[in-house]
A = this chain, B = another copy of it.
Amino acid sequence: MRAITIAFALLCCGAPLAVVEAASPTVIDLTHTFDTNTIYWPTEPGFDLKKLDDGYTERGYYYAANRYDAPEHGGTHIDAPHHFSKPGQTVEQIPLDRLVGEAVCVDVTTPCSVDPDYLVTIDDLKQWEKTNNASLAEKIVLLNTGYAEHWPDRQKYLGTAEMGPAAVAKLHFPGLDPAAASWLCSARRIKAVGIDTASIDNGPSRMFQSHVNLFEHQVPALENVASMKDLPATGFRVFALPMKIAGGSGAPCRVVAVLEE
């Protein structure tokens, strides 16, 4: 930021116009690609890209264009509060202030490596604050379970590679404890939460209580976030920018981290 400020100051002072090297922040992509391997719920057909044009036209120029078709909830995406809350905000109603901001990364890879149904607890979160001498208040809170490293292996990532309604009972992956979801909203007033698994509730959940608890506070959830292995615990911003679907209960979301300069 300093380099940029100096550049602007020089320009504003009427110094001779020159190509000024602007400071480029380090930006880390936390997004999986959408393709035929993109993971959706076992009951959902996946992402479909239909090729419409691909080749040289009779006028001589090259032209490629496609059409896409997918459920809202799959790949790296946002759950809008309306997904599990009738009065909750839909995607286009989520304020940008919730999607852009100071962020933290809570490493829970160790417990998640031994318990595939691990639930991140209030104690984990309080311990993180103590260890890092930092507060979760008003942050975008990313939970690093390590499961992004399994993507796109459905067996390892979801606990089952089977498809269809019967596969839902075989889902195993970590999530956020419903009590911790409530605590993050009421005691820490977080902006948003993100996780590198298929759902903010863990695999065996049937009542999706963490979704319900977050969304009654209008706190959106990012799911299937990509690998957080290059993130520090603190000192970065997240920009989680979803496709602006009017009335959407969720949407594909490009999630990036910008490291402090």
In the assembled complex, the Cα of A138 lies from the Cα of B68 at a distance in Å of 32
In the bound complex, residues from chain B placing their C-beta under 8 Å from that of A247 are 35, 49, 66
Tell me whether A14 and B133 are in contact in the complex, defined as CB-CB below 8 angstroms, given that A68-B70, A138-B22, A206-B59 are known contacts.
yes
Q: How far is the CB of A251 from the nearest CB of chain B, in Å?
A: 8
Are B65 and A34 interface neighbours, CB within 8 A? no
Chain B residue nearest to A48 (CB atoms) is: B69
* Copies of this chain, tallied across the complex: 2
Are A67 and B72 interface neighbours, CB within 8 A? yes
Are B245 and A49 interface neighbours, CB within 8 A? yes
Most buried by B among A24, A62, A135, A208: A62
Are A17 and B134 interface neighbours, CB within 8 A? yes
Are A97 and B61 interface neighbours, CB within 8 A? no
In the bound complex, residues from chain B placing their C-beta under 8 Å from that of A24 are 97, 101
In the assembled complex, the Cα of A133 lies from the Cα of B35 at a distance in Å of 45
In the assembled complex, the Cα of A66 lies from the Cα of B90 at a distance in Å of 11
In the assembled complex, the Cα of A64 lies from the Cα of B72 at a distance in Å of 10
Chain B residue nearest to A252 (CB atoms) is: B243
Contact-residue size bin, chain A (C-beta under 8 Å from the other chain)? 35 or more
Cβ contact of A92, chosen from B14, B33, B62, cutoff 8 A: B33
For residue A256, CB closer than 8 A to chain B, the reply is yes
In the bound complex, residues from chain B placing their C-beta under 8 Å from that of A61 are 84, 207-208, 212
Chain A 49-89, CB-CB to B under 8 Å as 1, else 0, gives 10010000001111111111111110010000011111000
Question: Interface residues, chain A, CB within 8 Å of chain B?
Answer: 1, 4-5, 8, 11-12, 14, 17-22, 24-25, 27, 29, 31-35, 49, 52, 59-73, 76, 82-86, 92, 96-97, 100-102, 129, 133-135, 137-138, 206-208, 212, 234-235, 239, 241-252, 254, 256, 258, 260
Given A19-B138, A61-B208, A252-B252, 6 further pairs, Cβ under 8 A:
A4-B102, A20-B135, A29-B244, A62-B86, A64-B84, A68-B251
